[in-house]
Chains A and B, each alone.
Chain A
């Protein structure tokens, strides 16, 4: 029976024998406008999707509460930049709310 929000204890961190599939630079925290993307969200879950149809990948961020925001991509070279986040709205003009439980 579940009585707490996240009743997790970490499990094994991965077998040492797992081969690497790619290499990456050190991570860079992303911002949306002046704010850190994902800050103060519960379990921010980004997905890359061209929501505004301008040909550039925006970042849609979901979270544990079931809310969705979008940070539009600012076109340009160099590290990716994103404009200020806004709620993803439904046809009724209200914020999409997938709820929780």
Chain B
């Protein structure tokens, strides 16, 4: 679950949007009294928003659907991250859904209004440089951030990698918005943080389950990264089978020349 603080319903108060492991996006409304009870964000038919895999609360087991695929472009998607994002500049917020089972991102367009959203029932693949956007190591989270300060929100995405074994680490990637305020379009994948090899005698970096956000933490005018995730390391003298997995949050100070 990765929270996004955003005025989802256009009432002037910040709400919380989050995808969770059940496979659907949720909303915590900000009210005059504080945050309300979490609720599911539903589509225009009043149905749950899912990719393919989801926890079925009626049968109490994992379930799958192909009902919301663009024909020929679906998969076995399992949404665990979501952000509100005004894709088409019409003043209401659409949804971008991150797939924990692949590196892809899908969108649900809002044809309603901020206070009365009508989310489409089809998961439209988000493209990058004309191809389905792909986050290596599958999508852990996605963030809408104006990285290059051109007035358009870009996508910063971090990967899951192998969070349990000695498999590949994950990285953090940037997809610049090369479209316009009337229509987002994303350029090719760029690297913000390359995957760091696992190992070492102590936790020195996050390797898997990367959850990223960006902000100017040191007041120098550029965007630093904060990354939550697991460090995989092995104590001196221990066998690799005794490798440690330690959850931490890290700060990456931006040193890009300006």
Q: Which residues of A contact B (CB under 8 A)?
A: 1-3, 6, 8-15, 18-30, 36-49, 57, 59-66, 68, 77-80, 88-92, 96-101
State the CA gap A98–B189 with chains docked (Å). 31
| A80 and B161 form a contact (CB under 8 A) | no
Contact between chains at A11 and B136 (CB < 8 Å): yes
Shortest 10 CB-CB contacts between residues of A and residues of B: A91-B34, A10-B168, A10-B162, A2-B62, A44-B228, A45-B211, A101-B22, A48-B215, A101-B55, A21-B190
Inter-subunit contact A11/B3 (CB<8 Å): no
B162-A29 in contact (CB<8A): no
Interface 1/0 per residue, B1-41 and A, CB below 8 Å = 11111000000000010101111001010010111111000
Q: Which B residues lie within 8 Å of A39 (CB)?
A: 246-248
Interface positions of B from 221 to 239, Cβ below 8 Å from A: 224-229
Q: How far is the CB of A12 from chain B (nearest CB, A)?
A: 5
Contact of A68 among B3, B55, B205 (CB under 8 A): B3
Given contacts A18-B173, A80-B218, contact A43 B247 (CB under 8 A): yes
Can you name 6 A-B residue pairings with CB atoms under 8 Å?
A13-B136, A46-B211, A46-B228, A62-B1, A64-B1, A91-B34
Which of A8, A26, A41 sits near B162, CB closer than 8 Å? A8
Q: How far is the CB of A83 from the nearest CB of chain B, in Å?
A: 14
Residues of A within 8 A of B219 (CB): 77
Residue pair B248, A29 in contact (C-beta under 8 Å): yes
Report B-chain residues with C-beta under 8 Å of the C-beta of A77.
219
State whether the Cβ of B88 lies closer than 8 Å to any Cβ in chain A. Answer: no
CA of A22 to CA of B18, assembled, Å: 27
In the complex, whether B178 has a CB less than 8 A from a CB of chain A is no
Q: Which residues of A contact B214 (CB under 8 A)?
A: 48
Residues of A within 8 A of B18 (CB): 62, 66, 98
Known: A8-B138, A39-B247, A43-B229. 20 other contacts (CB 8 A): A1-B64, A10-B162, A11-B102, A11-B138, A12-B168, A18-B190, A19-B190, A20-B194, A24-B252, A27-B250, A29-B251, A30-B249, A43-B247, A44-B211, A46-B211, A47-B5, A48-B215, A91-B31, A91-B33, A98-B20
Is A43 touching B228 in the complex (CB atoms < 8 A)?
Answer: yes
Residues of A within 8 A of B171 (CB): 13-14
| Minimum CB distance partner of B34 in chain A | A91
The answer to whether B117 has its CB under 8 Å from any CB of chain A is: no
- A28-B215 in contact given A11-B137, A66-B1 (Cβ < 8 Å): no
Q: Which of B2, B53, B167, B194 contacts A47 (CB 8 A)?
A: B2
Cβ–Cβ < 8 Å partners of A99 in chain B: 20, 22, 38
